[in-house]
């Protein structure tokens, strides 16, 4: 299906809680809504359809889209939004099929993070499963920083090429996303739960929690120039993790949940103990907090698998491995090696089975560098 000429790419259908956020970067002012069956869901603000936005968001109940297995994206280009008798063009409707996750075995997930502005190479690598892809993870640092709308659209352009608007995705923030002139507006342009970048999601039999470490160095690191307050953010996030555990029956213990995943850009159980021009071991932050997070996640949520990026390596870290410095709650797949100079990318293809996962690392030209069956935790 070709991309409508008024869009930058196909929509991206991202899971948030019990909803999908359908994200759509557009080239011109337009009103946008989604019809599922007889029901319409609008990009609106307190009853006002939004047109003055570069990236639209339409929130739809996951159950409705899963049942319908398709949605119609409808838009009207704005001619002149005057206070009275505003003018817009005729409606344009585009029907998208949608493939909800219905299987409970052999679930194919592709993980991309750290694309750092590349689109073609990570999208090609993510084509590993072809039409058998079930879930696409965009796990942070997809753009190099949050500058222009082009930067903010990078993740959606990759998702467009990989999913065509028809396969569920999960969007997770990376530390580079906190940088640049548009970083403070990130929540406006990305899936989030009431403005928060940490949240849980349900896709078929998969329950997941996004753990967002924010920046990877201390708030007072000179590289941030007084623009960051992630320590407070992580304190609030810890309260959120505890509230998820307090509501386990509606979250990871809910009926129908078979797999429990952690999605975290930063593999926070690793200690990156290196020194550089920013000082002595600038990445060695929050050791106590992250050790505590690993413990409470392990003891309560009992996750099967964690997916991370950030380190620009492709490694499977089993509990007790050299990458496990704080007590991993489960195996961690660290799955992205970008090379922006040569425009190459290695991502991670993960297939969930009953008590194991197949983990494949492959590049944009299909070369497989690793293929392993690992045990899932908590089985």
Q: Which is nearer to Fe ion, 174 or 335 (CB)?
A: 174
Give min distance, CB of 195 to Fe ion, in A: 22
Q: Which is nearer to Fe ion, 312 or 358 (CB)?
A: 312
Give min distance, CB of 308 to Fe ion, in A: 9
Contact (Cβ atoms closer than 8 angstroms) between residue 178 and residue 215: yes
Q: Which is nearer to Fe ion, 139 or 166 (CB)?
A: 139
CA distance 358 to 156: 26
Give min distance, CB of 176 to Fe ion, in A: 6
Q: Which is nearer to Fe ion, 153 or 175 (CB)?
A: 175
Radius of gyration of the chain (CA): 20
3 state SS of 224: helix
Q: Which is nearer to Fe ion, 26 or 336 (CB)?
A: 336
User: Any idea what DSSP says for residue 276?
Assistant: B
* Locus of tokens 């928060």: 196
Q: Which is nearer to Fe ion, 57 or 265 (CB)?
A: 265
What tokens does 276 get?
Answer: 């550089």
DSSP assignments along 47-86, one per residue: TEE--S-SEEEEEEEHHHHHHHTEEEEEEEEEEE--SSS-
**CA-to-CA separations, 179 to 56, 66, 139, 175, in angstroms, rounded:** 22, 35, 16, 8
Q: Which parts of this chain interact with Fe ion (CB under 5 A)?
A: 141, 174-175, 310
Give min distance, CB of 310 to Fe ion, in A: 4
Give min distance, CB of 42 to Fe ion, in A: 35
CA distance 348 to 61: 29
Give min distance, CB of 177 to Fe ion, in A: 9
Task: Give the residue closest to Fe ion by C-beta.
Answer: 310
Q: Which is nearer to Fe ion, 175 or 362 (CB)?
A: 175
Give min distance, CB of 338 to Fe ion, in A: 10
Does residue 297 come out as left (phi exceeding 0), alpha (psi in the -120 to 50 range) or beta?
alpha
Does residue 270 come out as left (phi exceeding 0), alpha (psi in the -120 to 50 range) or beta?
beta
């Amino acid at each position: 299906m070709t991309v409508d000429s008024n869009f930058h790419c196909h929509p991206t259908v991202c899971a948030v809680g019990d909803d999908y956020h359908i994200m759509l970067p557009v080239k011109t002012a337009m009103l946008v809504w989604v019809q599922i069956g007889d029901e319409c869901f609008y990009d609106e603000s307190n009853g006002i359809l939004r047109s003055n936005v570069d990236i639209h968001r339409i929130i739809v109940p996951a159950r409705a889209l899963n049942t319908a297995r398709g949605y119609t994206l409808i838009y009207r280009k704005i001619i002149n939004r005057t206070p009275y008798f505003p003018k817009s063009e005729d409606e344009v409707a585009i029907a998208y099929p949608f493939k909800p996750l219905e299987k409970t075995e052999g679930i194919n997930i592709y993980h991309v993070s750290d694309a750092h502005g590349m689109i073609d190479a990570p999208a090609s690598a993510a084509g590993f499963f072809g039409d058998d892809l079930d879930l696409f993870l965009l796990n942070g640092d997809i753009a190099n920083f949050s500058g222009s709308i082009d930067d903010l659209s990078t993740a959606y352009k990759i998702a467009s090429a990989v999913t065509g608007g028809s396969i569920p995705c999960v969007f997770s923030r990376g530390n580079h996303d906190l940088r640049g002139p548009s970083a403070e507006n990130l929540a406006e342009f990305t899936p989030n739960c009431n403005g928060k970048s940490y949240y849980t999601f349900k896709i078929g039999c998969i329950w997941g929690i996004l753990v967002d470490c924010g920046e990877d160095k201390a708030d007072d690191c000179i590289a941030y120039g007084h623009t960051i307050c992630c320590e407070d953010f992580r304190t609030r996030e810890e309260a959120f993790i505890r509230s998820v555990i307090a509501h386990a029956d509606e979250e990871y213990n809910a009926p129908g949940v078979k797999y429990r995943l952690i999605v975290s850009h930063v593999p926070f159980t690793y200690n990156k103990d290196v020194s550089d021009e920013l000082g002595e071991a600038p990445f060695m932050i929050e050791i106590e907090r992250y050790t505590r997070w690993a413990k409470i996640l392990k003891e309560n949520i009992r996750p099967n698998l964690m997916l991370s990026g950030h380190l620009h390596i492709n490694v499977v870290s089993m509990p007790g491995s050299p990458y496990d410095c704080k007590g991993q709650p489960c195996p961690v797949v660290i799955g992205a090696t970008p090379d922006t100079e040569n425009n190459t990318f290695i991502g991670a293809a993960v297939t969930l089975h009953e008590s194991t996962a197949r983990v494949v690392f492959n590049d944009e030209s299909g070369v497989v560098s690793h293929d392993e069956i690992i045990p899932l935790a908590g089985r």
